[in-house]
């Protein structure tokens, strides 16, 4: 196939646009924030499970404290009642029984209050653990939300850029003969499609061409469409191709 050097050089513009279209498509499909967002989702699930466990422990301690507070209140009520009965008692035996019960209630109340203090300490620790875990979860959620928002913005920008590049490609491709463009498109499925030949090197695959191939290219007319023997790209020749 033959094509003017100008049309062949235009293929380099199309190849560059195609490269940028591919980059935009990758950015649309695979935003850079994706791996971290996926990681944060897993981290957040673990943190949420831990928060659920810690919250359950805290609630159990709260229930225990409520029960102790109820027991203390009941003992106090009995103590006040017995104290009033003792104050009004006239029977020595009844008075002695009440005094004995009051002493027992005092010991019971003291034990309950000690247990209550212990549970209150455990509750304070449990609440602190829940608060700390909630803070971790909030930090993870905030980072995830920010990254997700940025990813959506980047995807939208990549989508818009891709659409603009497709329009640009169509405009540039319209200046190239259909047969040459079809040949380029066929090659571009497996290579850069078109690449500069610079100092004997194909810029598409970075292969240094053997001298025999360079001699063949050197003898080819300027309008001949020549190929890289390694990647199959159309080699665009310039003064820097190393053919002089």
Q: What is the pLDDT of residues 45-80, one digit of tens each?
A: 999 999 999 999 999 999 999 999 999 999 999 988
**What residues form DSSP beta bridges with 224?**
2
Q: From CA 52, how far away is CA 167, in angstroms rounded?
A: 53
Q: What is the pLDDT of residue 243?
A: 80
Q: From CA 234, how far away is CA 196, in angstroms rounded?
A: 8
Classify domain 27-173 by CATH architecture: Orthogonal Bundle (1.10)
Q: From CA 91, how far away is CA 95, in angstroms rounded?
A: 6
Q: What is the pLDDT of residues 216-229, one digit of tens each?
A: 999 999 999 999 99
Q: Are 26 and 165 in contact (CB under 8 A)?
A: no
Q: Give the residue extent of every domain in the chain.
A: 5-18+177-241, 27-173
Q: 58 Cβ partners below 8 Å, 6+ apart?
A: 123, 126, 127, 129, 130
Q: What is the pLDDT of residues 183-194, one digit of tens each?
A: 999 999 999 999
Terminal Cα-to-Cα distance of the chain (whole angstroms):
23
């Amino acid at each position: 196939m033959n094509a003017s050097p100008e049309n062949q050089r235009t293929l380099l513009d199309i190849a560059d646009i195609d490269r940028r279209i591919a980059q935009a498509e990758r950015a649309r499909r695979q935003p850079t924030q994706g791996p971290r967002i996926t990681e944060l989702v897993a981290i957040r699930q673990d943190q949420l499970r831990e928060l659920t466990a810690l919250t359950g422990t805290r609630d159990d301690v709260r229930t225990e404290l409520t029960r102790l507070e109820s027991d203390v209140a009941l003992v106090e009520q009995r103590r006040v009642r017995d104290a009033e009965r003792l104050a009004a008692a006239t029977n020595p035996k009844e008075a002695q029984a009440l005094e004995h019960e009051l002493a027992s209630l005092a010991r019971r109340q003291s034990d309950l209050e000690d247990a209550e203090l212990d549970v209150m300490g455990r509750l304070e620790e449990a609440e602190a653990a829940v608060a700390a875990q909630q803070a971790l979860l909030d930090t993870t959620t905030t980072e995830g939300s920010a990254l997700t928002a940025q990813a959506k913005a980047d995807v939208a920008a990549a989508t818009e850029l891709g659409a603009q590049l497709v329009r640009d490609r169509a405009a540039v491709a319209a200046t190239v003969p259909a047969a040459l463009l079809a040949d380029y498109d066929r090659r571009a499925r497996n290579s850069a499609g078109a690449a500069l030949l610079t100092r004997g090197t194909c810029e598409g695959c970075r292969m240094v061409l053997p001298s025999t191939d360079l001699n063949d290219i050197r003898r080819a007319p300027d309008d001949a469409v020549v190929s890289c023997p390694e990647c199959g790209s159309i080699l665009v020749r310039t003064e820097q191709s190393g053919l002089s």
